[in-house]
């Protein structure tokens, strides 16, 4: 059975490994292989948002619930990250900065399904989309304080780089929830 405190302790222990992001991915991969256990512990996704399971200077673990149809703009983390899905689908479009420093260029795509896990390097830039008509549940783990680390976002790939706004991201989740609920009436 998935237990948040035990999972956090295991992730903190993985930080002692030679390559902590790989140790964390192995741990998260084995965890999301049992999606029903995660859902039983965290609840069935029914509203989009971000809830913090653990936050410290060395490690942040969040439960991300993507509302149906939600897209979050390109952003970076400036931290290594491991993402594992326990329900739904998360489409990640990857970018790199343009050579002239203005805007972004597409650099790849990865579709994640339930039970998939992926590593993102410190310099990864991605946008995320939930293409399904259901909530997507994901555990995101970061090698540092996700909420305090200065990083960047872009309104779209042709927009200039600007400081990342946690408040803006939370608003994007709230807006996506409202749009989905309005469609259900």
Q: What would the pLDDT profile of 74-88 be if each residue is shown by its tens digit?
A: 999 999 999 999 999
pLDDT of residue 102: 79
Q: What would the pLDDT profile of 45-70 be if each residue is shown by its tens digit?
A: 989 999 999 999 999 999 999 999 99
φ/ψ of residue 162, rounded to 5: -145, 165
103: left (phi over 0), alpha (psi -120 to 50) or beta: left
CA pair distance 25, 94, nearest whole angstrom: 19
Question: If you ran DSSP here, which 8-state letter would residue 67 be given?
Answer: P
Q: Measured between alpha carbons, how far apart are the two ends of the chain, in Å?
A: 36
pLDDT of residue 96: 95
Q: Is the dihedral of CA 7, 121, 44, 115 positive or negative?
A: negative
pLDDT of residue 77: 96
CATH number reported for the structural domain that contains residue 177 in this entry: 2.60.120.10
Q: What is the pTM of this model?
A: 0.95
Q: What is the mean pLDDT of each run of 10 residues along the chain (185 residues)?
A: 97 97 98 97 93 98 97 97 98 92 91 98 97 97 97 94 94 95 86
Tell me which residue range forms the domain holding 146.
4-184
8 A C-beta contact, residue 31 and residue 1: no
Per the structure, the count of domains in the chain is 1
Residue 156 is encoded by which pair of tokens? Answer: 């779209």
- Count CB-CB contacts under 10 A for residue 42: 17
């Amino acid at each position: 059975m998935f237990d948040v405190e035990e999972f956090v302790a295991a992730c903190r222990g993985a930080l002692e490994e030679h390559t902590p992001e790989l140790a964390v991915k192995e741990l998260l991969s084995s965890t999301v292989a049992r999606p029903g256990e995660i859902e039983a512990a965290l609840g069935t996704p029914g509203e989009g948002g971000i809830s913090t399971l653990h936050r410290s200077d060395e490690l942040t673990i969040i439960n991300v619930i993507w509302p149906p149809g939600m897209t979050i703009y390109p952003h970076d983390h400036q931290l290594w990250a491991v993402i594992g899905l326990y329900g739904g689908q998360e489409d990640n479009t990857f970018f790199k900065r343009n050579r002239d420093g203005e805007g972004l260029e597409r650099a790849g795509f990865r579709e994640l399904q339930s039970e998939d896990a992926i590593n993102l390097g410190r310099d990864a830039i991605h946008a995320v989309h939930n293409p399904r008509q259901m909530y997507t549940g994901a555990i995101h783990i970061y090698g540092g304080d996700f909420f305090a680390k200065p990083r960047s976002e872009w309104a779209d790939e042709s927009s200039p780089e600007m400081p990342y706004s946690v408040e803006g991201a939370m608003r994007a989740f709230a807006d996506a929830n409202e749009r989905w609920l309005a469609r259900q009436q």
